[in-house]
């Protein structure tokens, strides 16, 4: 996809939250009865979770902007459970499979097959689950016994918060109280808070310490409910950044009370000099001169690609910290972003989990997102203010989280065109 320098103006609605759609699907599947999930995000990742749940015997039907989920007893799948490139699907469903009678084989695509899963396997073994990974990564084999033993679990919190969320989702299905102790400071705490919020909506209570290092979960039953998915701050961040860089953009369907980690984009834009304005559930970002920032992204690592691009167009230097886990996303996001920004003439230095960007005027180039949806969207936004054309290869990888990205981008006035590689 080719992007030419453009001034944007207009309004779009945020897609629904990918993270909360995953959680609502699983809570619905574990509840005995019919749940209605309103405004779910239908994307590659969420469809992977729905596909795996269907193979485990869950009836999920799509009815005019609504997913109707008939949950209850899960059954052995009879064939492998393909999780696509969704780390959330793989990790959450590995835990769910521990409650299923029989053997489950969970596999994934090329990128997912390199992402760590062993800490979750070890924590499940502490609860008596027979499971294994392939040298710490997928594929995963879980041999369930039709139930889950309760007990005490110790797990690291600095590899992926999805491990803790996975344990929390299945802990209520145990035969007593489950105590989860996080042995290192928990990163991406807001994602665990989202899991607890989803569980509460489906009738499950989780007792958490203030620092989210200790959790207690009694044996409980999920209850079917009607659940509406809120707008996605992770996706909205790209459109807000496009307004901050290249015009005036309003994003609707967002909650000011959201617990999503990537609502942090509001504070980041504010620190860079952007004054956001609200009207109901819509927020507007308008172009102004950006200034560099020094920011820790430990709790919102998915913002790294777009914040890096904002720093590339800002005055002065930006320093981004807390990036260690980004090497284990859909791509090595640190290496991928650094190499692409260098192609665009941006001065970037990387040391450990710190990246330093010297702002200025990027130049157009052919950039490769390495199949990573967030990198593709971030580089497209930066292309709006680059000197010359920017060509984003494998542009359709955005379907992983924001299938309508290019349509929304063009509706705001972005000048785009197809590349020969598409």
The encoded tokens of residue 340 equal: 């692409």
CA distance 117 to 107: 12
Spot the catalytic one: 44, 45, 302, 353: 302
The encoded tokens of residue 135 equal: 């040298």
Pair 398, 371: CB distance under 8 Å = no
Bridge partners, residue 11, by sequence: 250
Would residue 302 show up in a list of annotated catalytic residues for this protein? yes
Q: Which residue carries 């063009």 as its tokens?
A: 410
Q: What share of the chain is helix, strand, coil (3-state, %, to 5)?
A: 35, 25, 35
CA distance 112 to 108: 5
DSSP characters over 368-382: --TT-HHHHHHHHHH
CA distance 58 to 75: 9
Pair 339, 348: CB distance under 8 Å = no
For residue 153, give the 3-state DSSP assignment.
strand
Pair 182, 164: CB distance under 8 Å = yes
Chain center to CA of 37: 19
Q: Give me the active site residues, please.
A: 302
């Amino acid at each position: 996809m080719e992007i030419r320098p453009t001034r944007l103006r207009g309004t779009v609605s945020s897609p629904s939250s990918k993270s909360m759609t995953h959680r609502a699907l699983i809570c619905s599947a574990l509840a005995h009865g019919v749940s209605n999930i309103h405004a779910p995000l239908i994307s590659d990742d969420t469809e992977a979770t729905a596909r795996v749940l269907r193979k485990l015997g869950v009836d999920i039907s799509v009815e005019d902007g609504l997913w109707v989920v008939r949950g209850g007893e899960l059954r052995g799948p009879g064939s492998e459970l393909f999780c696509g490139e969704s780390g959330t699907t793989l990790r959450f469903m590995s835990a769910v499979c521990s409650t299923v009678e029989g053997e489950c084989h969970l596999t994934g695509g090329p990128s997912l097959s390199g992402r760590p899963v062993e800490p979750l396997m070890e924590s499940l073994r502490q609860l008596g689950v027979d499971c294994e990974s392939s040298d710490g990564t997928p594929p995963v084999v879980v041999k369930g016994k039709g139930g889950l033993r309760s007990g005490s679990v110790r797990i690291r919190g600095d590899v992926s918060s999805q491990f803790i969320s996975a344990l929390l989702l299945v802990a209520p299905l145990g035969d007593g109280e489950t105590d989860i102790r996080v042995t290192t400071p928990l990163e991406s705490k807001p994602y665990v808070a989202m899991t607890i919020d989803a569980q509460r909506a489906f009738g499950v209570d989780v007792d958490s310490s203030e620092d989210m290092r200790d959790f207690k979960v009694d044996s409980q039953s999920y209850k079917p409910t009607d659940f509406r998915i809120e707008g996605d701050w992770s996706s909205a961040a790209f459109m807000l950044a496009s307004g901050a860089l290249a015009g005036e953009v309003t994003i609707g369907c967002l909650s000011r009370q959201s617990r999503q980690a990537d609502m942090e984009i509001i504070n980041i834009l504010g620190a860079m000099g952007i004054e956001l304005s609200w009207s109901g559930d819509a927020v507007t970002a308008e172009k102004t001169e950006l200034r560099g920032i020094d920011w820790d992204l430990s709790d919102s690592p998915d913002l790294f690609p777009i914040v890096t691009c904002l720093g590339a167009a800002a005055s002065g230097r930006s320093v981004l910290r807390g990036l260690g886990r980004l090497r284990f996303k859909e791509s090595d996001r640190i290496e991928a972003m650094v190499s692409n920004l260098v192609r665009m003439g941006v001065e970037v230095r990387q040391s450990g989990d710190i990246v330093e960007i010297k702002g200025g005027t990027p130049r157009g180039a052919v950039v490769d997102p390495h199949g990573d949806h967030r990198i593709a969207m971030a580089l497209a936004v930066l292309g709006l203010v680059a000197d010359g054309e920017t060509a984003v290869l494998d542009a359709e990888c955005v379907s992983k989280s924001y299938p309508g990205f290019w349509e929304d981008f063009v509706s705001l006035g972005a000048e785009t065109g197809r590349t020969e590689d598409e």
